[in-house]
Amino acid sequence: MMLAYRLLTAEDSSAFCHKVTEALSKGWALHGSPAYAADPATGVMRCAQAVVKEVDATYRPELTLGSL
């Protein structure tokens, strides 16, 4: 078993909420609190949320975490 980790990021919008909700519906669990920061290049707020999932796999750098 392996604990997989992903950091989901996007602009602060409903699309970000849908991205996190989709991960939760696929068995990922929230890890820590969300983070918000201003993106000086675009002038918008960006969100980040870490998620984790225990999977029956062996870690490999080429592993596509979103497909777990």
7-32 tens-digit pLDDT: 999 999 999 999 999 999 999 999 99
pLDDT in the model for residue 59: 93
29 contacts: CB under 8 Å, gap ≥ 6: 51, 52, 53
Query: What value does the mean pLDDT take over residues 53-57?
Result: 95
Q: Is residue 10 part of a domain?
A: yes
pLDDT in the model for residue 66: 87
Percent of the chain with pLDDT over 90: 91
Q: Is residue 46 part of a domain?
A: yes
Rounded to whole angstroms, what are the CA distances from 43 to 12, 46, 48? 11, 9, 16
What distance in Å separates the CA atoms of residue 64 and residue 33, rounded to the nearest whole number?
Answer: 24
CATH code at position 30: 3.30.1660
In terms of residue numbers, what domain contains 6? 2-61
What distance in Å separates the CA atoms of residue 9 and residue 37, rounded to the nearest whole number?
Answer: 11
H or E stretch covering 25? helix 14-25
Percent of the chain with pLDDT over 70: 100
Q: Is residue 24 part of a domain?
A: yes
Q: How many domains does the chain have?
A: 1
Q: Is residue 67 part of a domain?
A: no
The type of residue at 24 is: L
Q: Is residue 68 part of a domain?
A: no
